[in-house]
Amino acid sequence: MRLHILALFLFVTSFFANKAAAFSGRRPVQHFLNKNVTWRTVHGVDGEVQIPTLFQSEYETLTPHLQDCLAGKHVAMMGYSLVRYQYLSLANFIQHGEWLPWDGSAYRGFPSPVIENQWRGNTSTHWNAFFKGTNALLENSEACDCYRVPSCRYPPSSKGWCNTENRYYRKSVFGNGKAIALTYLSSFGKDRTPRGHWLMSQKTPVAPSEQSCSVGDCKPPWRWVYTDADAVKFILKPLKVTHLMWSPNNERKGVMPDANGMLSAARLSLSPGSTGILYEGALSASSNAVHIAPHIRLVSRKVAAAGWENLHSLRLVHKLRKSFQTKHASINDGQRGKPAHAAGTFLYWDSLHYYPWVYEELNKALLSIICKEY
């Protein structure tokens, strides 16, 4: 009799727990990868174009709650160029209340902030113009510890890497009188880990007294150079980060990301109840299938066991690309250097980097993770 009562109790408890889970939280990104895409119509210089989306309906139901969701949050992103552009896409959305033009068109009098190639002009120092311009677009809400040149030798052991790019976005009043913060730390792995000059606080907006150099002029020597894990401990810990999206290096062969070190640092340094999010990498224009390197698979298993979410960036972009190619069979994407409206450039503006609508889709996936309680 007692066993029957216990069994009934466990069944009822499980039933209502599942019901609560079904209605109290958003579904994981992986759920959407198993669904068919829907299509939305956008307008470009060549007229209407239909582009695929996996998250549009989810995003539309979330939109009324976005301010409540994001107020008080601090989202940190650490990784290479694809992560930088996703950060800039999200920061501009928060600042201006609209997503960037889908096709890479000029935005508010500037070239697209996620297409560095548009900033080249006739100068070899275009990166610093890119830093200054993308920082100006955010209207004094961002501090940029940024500097880059085509090549340099400081110190000699850096093998030519004397670049720094750390971005701190703060909007003082976003929703319910609370601030929202985004942070981007540049990391390309091995000898190209985070480095910079400032030790930031949680102040909003970023205090000028905390900026020891101006954007585009933050040259070496640096005040600090850290591994990814140590950057979490010493740079991100004081910032009360609620969500950390990390891209372990998968560009430089032979480098094993320190997943254990990152997990330990995140557990000890981030805010209680914080969420770790894995960015597995980018799908290049020449890749016809998703290939996740063995060391990234190992990292993925480790962080999943620790309760991290996965953005599934490779599979997500692959699904968008495959759907797009099927519908628009005449388009051969990945033609470097073509204008945004030319055939073949609706996903990539070079061999690796995406057009703005792809970062928008990745950020909608990210928002579904951040706002999963809504």
Domain that holds residue 201: 28-370
**DSSP structural state of residue 232:** I
Q: Is residue 315 part of a domain?
A: yes
What's the pLDDT score for residue 22? 33
Assess if residue 293 is contained within a domain.
yes
The highest-confidence range among 6-20, 177-191, 351-365, by mean pLDDT, is 351-365
DSSP 205-223: S--GGG-SS-TT--PSSPS
- Please say if the pLDDT value at position 308 is more than 50: yes
pLDDT tens-digit profile of 121-169? 755 568 999 999 999 999 989 999 999 876 665 554 555 567 899 999 9
pLDDT over 50 at 11, yes or no? no
User: Can you give the pTM of this predicted structure?
Assistant: 0.87
CA distance 193 to 80: 10
Question: What pLDDT does residue 175 have?
Answer: 61
pLDDT for res 250: 54
> ∠ CA 73-78-81 to the nearest 5 degrees?
120
Q: According to the model, what pLDDT value does residue 6 have?
A: 41
pLDDT of residue 362: 97
Calpha distance 65→70 (Å, rounded): 9
Within a domain: 17: no
Q: Return mean pLDDT, the chain.
A: 82
Closest by CA to 102, choosing from 114, 87, 117, is 114
Residues 331, 49 contacting (CB under 8 angstroms): no
CB-CB neighbours of 5 under 10 Å: 9
pLDDT at 208: 61
> How many structural domains compose the chain?
1
Rounded to the nearest 5 percent, the helix, strand and coil shares of the chain are 40, 20, 45
What does the CA dihedral 318, 100, 96, 373 come to, rounded to 10 degrees?
A: -10
pLDDT of 267 above 80: yes
| 288 located within any domain | yes
The reply to whether 188 falls in a domain is yes
Question: Given a cut of 60, is residue 100 above it in pLDDT?
Answer: yes
Per-residue pLDDT at 151: 66
pLDDT value at residue 195:
92
Residue 181 forms part of a structural domain = yes
| pLDDT given at position 157 | 52
The mean pLDDT of 357-363, rounded to a whole number, is 96
pLDDT of 340 > 50? The answer is no
Q: Is the pLDDT of residue 8 over 50?
A: no
Between strands 74-79 and 243-246, the pairing is: parallel
Q: Which residue type is seen at 199? A: L
- Continuous segment of H or E residues that includes residue 259: helix 259-269
Residues 291, 188: Cα–Cα separation, whole Å: 19
Give the separation between CA 287 and CA 285, rounded to whole angstroms. 6
pLDDT score at 341:
38
Single-letter residue type at 342: A
